[in-house]
Every structure is written in C-alpha cells, then in structure tokens.
Amino acid sequence: MSKRTFTMIKPDATAKGNTGAILSMINAAGFRIVAMKMLHLSAEKAGEFYGVHRERPFFGELVEFMSQGPITAAILEKDNAVEDFRKLIGATNPAQAAEGTIRKLYAASIGENAVHGSDSNENALIEGDFFFSKLEQF
Ligand code: ATP
Ligand code: MG
C-alpha cells in the first residue's frame, strides 16, 4: 500500500484564495503534510513537470496556465495515498467530478482544475523529488 503522494494547488485556486480551504480538506481526509512550499513555476519548469503531455493539443495552454501565478506544492502521507487522493480530488473535468470532491467544489474547467494529484506510486516519488530535496521531506 502506497504511503505518499504529491499534490499541487494550482494557480487558479491560489488566485481565488482557496489554498487554506483545500489544505483543510486534505487534512480532514486523513493526509499528513510531510513537505510543503509555495512557488511560481517558470514556463520551462511547468513544461518539464507535465512533459508526458508534450504531444497533447492542450500542452501549450497547460504550460501557460501552470506558470501564470504561484502554486503550493506538497507531499502527503496516508495509507493508500495515491488512490485515496485521486478520489478526494475528483475527475479531471469538474463537470464529471463527484459531489464533495475538491475539483467539484473549486475547479472551473478541465484546464483550470484547482489541484494536481500523482497518478501512480512511481510518479509520486518522481514528482516529490522534482520540488523537494531529501532534507525538505519529513
Ligand atoms: P493532474 O495531472 O493535474 O492531476 P489529471 O491527472 O486529472 O490532472 P491529466 O490527464 O494528467 O489529468 O492532465 C493534466 C492536466 O492537463 C489536467 O489537470 C488539466 O489541467 C490539463 N488538461 C487535461 N486535459 C485537458 C483538456 N482537454 N483541455 C485543457 N486542459 C487539459
Ligand atoms: Mg495527471
């Protein structure tokens, strides 16, 4: 069972002042924050992070959006973290997200969808290490 996942509170949620409310939902769902920082991604870094989507038609839009303002990056710990966190955030498109999920509550569209959640244990490790040195992971 995986213990850790990685998340970002995206620029749309930061701009709307939803960071605190989203962190509260994350804690209330039983996740422990074991690393956290606020930063503004360059377009280059945003493109590197989402490199797997480089050939997709929405890649340019995604990079522009993710570098438009500050994000909060965090590593979260809980049993079954990756799968449980994907359930908490809801579907990529908020129109399809279940009631009570973070995206249902705070996302405006499939592009501006408030939060990121790792999709596998392997990617959770890669993504956490992208933002945090070992000294910053508790
Ligand atoms: P994330 O990786 O951010 O947690 P996800 O795993 O639910 O999201 P992905 O398929 O990995 O969805 O897409 C990454 C991000 O790219 C989405 O969260 C969204 O911001 C953007 N995106 C995905 N599909 C589209 C689309 N059709 N149009 C615009 N943006 C999109
Ligand atoms: Mg994804």
d(CA 122, CA 108): 29
Any idea which residues carry the catalytic annotation? 116
Rounded mean pLDDT for each run of 10 residues along the chain, 138 residues in total: 92 98 98 98 98 97 98 98 98 98 98 98 98 98
Query: Which residue minimizes the CA distance to atom 18 of ligand 1?
Result: 92
First to last CA, the chain: 19
Query: Which residue minimizes the CA distance to atom 5 of ligand 1?
Result: 92
Question: Which residues face 7 on adjacent strands?
Answer: 74, 117
**Domain annotation for the chain: domains and CATH numbers:** 4-133 (3.30.70.141)
pLDDT score recorded for residue 15: 98
Q: What is the pTM of this model?
A: 0.97
Describe the crossing of helices 81-89 and 121-131 by its angle, rounded to 10 degrees: 80
C-alpha 116 – ligand 1 centre gap (Å): 8
pLDDT score recorded for residue 1: 62
pLDDT score recorded for residue 2: 76
